[in-house]
Amino acid sequence: MAASLTIEDVERVAALAHIELTDEEKTLFTRQLADILHYAEQIQALDTRDIPATAHVRMGDDAEREDQPRPSLTVPDALGNAPDGAPDAGLFRVPRVIGG
Amino acid sequence: MALSRSAFEIRDAVRSGEASATEICRESLQRCDSAATTLNAFNLVTPERALERAAAIDRARAAGDALGPLAGVPVALKDNLCLRGVRTTASSKILENFLPPYDATAVRLLEAAGAVIVGKTNCDEFAMGSSNENSAFGPVRNPWALDRIPGGSSGGSAAAVAAGCVPLALGSDTGGSIRQPASFCGVVGLKPTYGRVSRFGLLAFASSLDQIGPFSGSVADSALALSVIAGWDGADATSTRTPVPDYTAALTGDVNGLRVGVPRAFVTEGVHDGVRRAFDAAIDTLRQAGASIVDIELPHARYAIPVYYLVCTAEASSNLARYDGVKYGYRATDAETLREMYSRTRDQGFGPEVKRRIVLGTYVLSAGYYDAFYLKAQQVRTLLRRDYEQAFERVDVVAMPTSPGPPFKLGEKTEDPLQMYLGDIFTVSANLAGLPGISVPCGFADEDGARLPIGFQLLGRPFEESTLLRAADAYERLARV
């Protein structure tokens, strides 16, 4: 399956990730990712029946704490890095959402 | 390439009044400027802020206040660690003008201990790389051989310590990004146990693997730095309440009876002759000092590269979804609709390696491939963890080379990502299993008339940094004689 990674696969996945790749990038990534996936297929040979997955080495024994109310980011701080902030309105501006 | 003074020496000199924090800071800033030019090691040097901080420490001393354990020590930060109000880019165009509204916890702790931050170091974009060639601001050069890479992703931090700009720097290690550049630049690099140091304020790459740690000229300075930055933090649910010992107290110089495991079969395959010789000599040094060397097996270690690159890219694809041109960072200006704006921002703002990893990570998480790749990788991650758990029933530390080869030439591996990834074979397991690891200089390889540093690596049981540091420090003392 991975060895037959196609340019359409790369286009589909790039669209899911919201990255508009150039044609050169699509061609290059298709070849490079096919190599990487082909190499990664060696793990398929291992027997992992009944082996639990490790998503994380520490599942948060110490994750719980008392809530402590404290000030959050101010609106000017939150908008300070926005490429198109509207500080007076307290908003982030973005291009047209509907009809795209 | 000896450092003029260690962090310990600077701290003691500032406390006793033999040197002022301001003098030390000026000397460090001069060297940082020079390394910024010759090595491209810095994305930003912060002279005004640093001199203000140094002056505050001198005033505190004059007033008779107690000075912290890093009083007046100049420190460089990898540019993926947030410093409030100071440009923090992760070496990415998508964050080229980002000013963090808060400090990373590790950075806050350093400053509270009296450290003086002198600048932000160059790195691979979002810490994705093994050569520092993936920076939007150009590669860092290795101070030992300017036509070679310093390692990555924390290449600038390693180079800054090696070039004597600072006695201490912070980096982050997701699959070897502290240990491998430490090895390539001839300095010490420590990746603490997952959970030992808060990740709050570290720009996330792969959250189950990332960990912050120090670079230094000596093991003792890394122990000092870890004592300062380790600890529980309410802002990072994966940080731990396990008490933080004084790691410097563990440095007894004694390895008598220490059991050192060597996975022989694993460490002989595809390793450069010079690296193998230096590694064998290091093991011999430990044996002569009374350590017992034990053959161990890590049957699943050979699968570490595919497991690592499937897991880290999956996590990266999720973490980097936040860079969308809305809340901060770069935005493409030629888009009519929101969707176009997202897609073009991300194409123009990310470099090739970051895009490659996001696409790969999205692929392995997508319907039809999740079980075969992502879930399978997580199961093999369990097998790998068990290998180490079993090994640590018989030994106290595991030793292996840090990298299979010495630092390579700029451009040598950039066309072939898979070849670049394979060089991480000895470092990625520590992250997958959550173990602490340290790289210590153990010699040189001669290649093309250049003297190239080599490091070897020790891995320890979770939260047993003290054992790791004791063994590494003892080796360092023996090797120095």
The per-residue pLDDT for range B173-204, each reduced to its tens digit, is: 999 999 999 999 999 999 999 999 999 999 99
The pLDDT value given to residue A60: 57
Q: Alpha-carbon distance B259 to B326, whole Å?
A: 54
Distance from B137 to chain A by nearest Cα, in Å? Answer: 20
Residue B48 belongs to domain with CATH number: 3.90.1300.10
Establish if B421 touches chain A: CB-CB under 8 angstroms: yes
CA dihedral of residues B351, B355, B356, B359 (deg, nearest 10): 180
CA dihedral of residues B292, B293, B296, B301 (deg, nearest 10): 120
Establish if B308 touches chain A: CB-CB under 8 angstroms: no
The pLDDT value given to residue A1: 45
Give residue B312's domain range.
Answer: 1-481
Residue A3 has pLDDT above 80, yes or no: no
Q: Which of A36, A61, A65, A73 to mutate to test the interface with B (most CBs of B within 10 A)?
A: A36
Q: Alpha-carbon distance B463 to A57, whole Å?
A: 13
Domain count of the fold of chain B: 1
A44/B372 touch (CB, cutoff 8 Å), yes or no: yes
Distance from B329 to chain A by nearest Cα, in Å? Answer: 6
Establish if B234 touches chain A: CB-CB under 8 angstroms: yes
B359/A17 touch (CB, cutoff 8 Å), yes or no: yes
Read off the tokens for B22. Answer: 């301001």
B99/A80 touch (CB, cutoff 8 Å), yes or no: yes
Q: Which of A25, A54, A73, A77 to mutate to test the interface with B (most CBs of B within 10 A)?
A: A54
Residue A87 has pLDDT above 80, yes or no: yes
Q: Which chain A residues touch B343 with a CB distance below 8 Å? A: 15, 18-20
A39/B241 touch (CB, cutoff 8 Å), yes or no: no
Helix (H) or strand (E) segment spanning residue B35: helix B21-38
Mean pLDDT of chain A: 90
Confidence grade of residue A59 (pLDDT, cut at 50, 70, 90): low
For residues B65-81, one letter each, b for 16 or more C-beta atoms within 10 angstroms of the residue's C-beta and e for the rest, the string is eebbbbbbbbbbbbbbb
Distance from B254 to chain A by nearest Cα, in Å? Answer: 31
A42/B317 touch (CB, cutoff 8 Å), yes or no: no
DSSP, residue by residue, B191-231: EPPTTSB--TTBPPS-TTT--EEEEESSHHHHHHHHHHHBS
Confidence grade of residue A58 (pLDDT, cut at 50, 70, 90): confident
Stretches where chain B sits below pLDDT 70 are 1-3, 481
Whether the model clears a pTM of 0.95, i.e. scores above it, the answer is: yes
Q: Which chain B residues touch A82 with a CB distance below 8 Å? A: 326-328
Q: Which chain A residues touch B421 with a CB distance below 8 Å? A: 36
Output the CA torsion sign for A52, A53, A57, A58.
negative
Using DSSP, state whether B246 is helix, strand or coil.
Answer: coil
Chain A, 37-76: which have a CB under 8 Å from a chain B CB? 37, 39-44, 46, 48, 51-58, 60-63, 65, 68, 73
Selecting from B352, B362, B376 the residue whose C-beta is nearest the C-beta of A43 gives B376
The pLDDT value given to residue A98: 80
Q: Alpha-carbon distance B2 to B441, whole Å?
A: 13
The pLDDT value given to residue B2: 38
Q: Which chain B residues touch A54 with a CB distance below 8 Å? A: 378-379, 381-382, 385, 432
Q: Alpha-carbon distance B234 to B240, whole Å?
A: 10
Q: Which chain B residues touch A1 with a CB distance below 8 Å? A: 369, 372
Residue A19 buriedness (CB in 10 A; 0-12 / 13-18 / 19+): buried
Answer yes or no: are the C-beta atoms of B206 and B434 closer than 8 Å: no
Structural domains present in chain A: 7-45 (1.10.20)
A16/B366 touch (CB, cutoff 8 Å), yes or no: yes
Q: Alpha-carbon distance B192 to B179, whole Å?
A: 11
| ipTM for the assembly | 0.95
Q: Which chain A residues touch B377 with a CB distance below 8 Å? A: 40, 43
pLDDT digits (tens, 9 = 90+) for B90-112: 999 999 999 999 999 999 999 99
Residue A63 has pLDDT above 80, yes or no: no
Selecting from B99, B306, B330 the residue whose C-beta is nearest the C-beta of A39 gives B306
Answer yes or no: are the C-beta atoms of B50 and B29 closer than 8 Å: yes
Residue of higher predicted confidence among B214 and A66 = B214
Among B398, B472, B387, CA closest to B183: B472
Establish if A35 touches chain B: CB-CB under 8 angstroms: yes
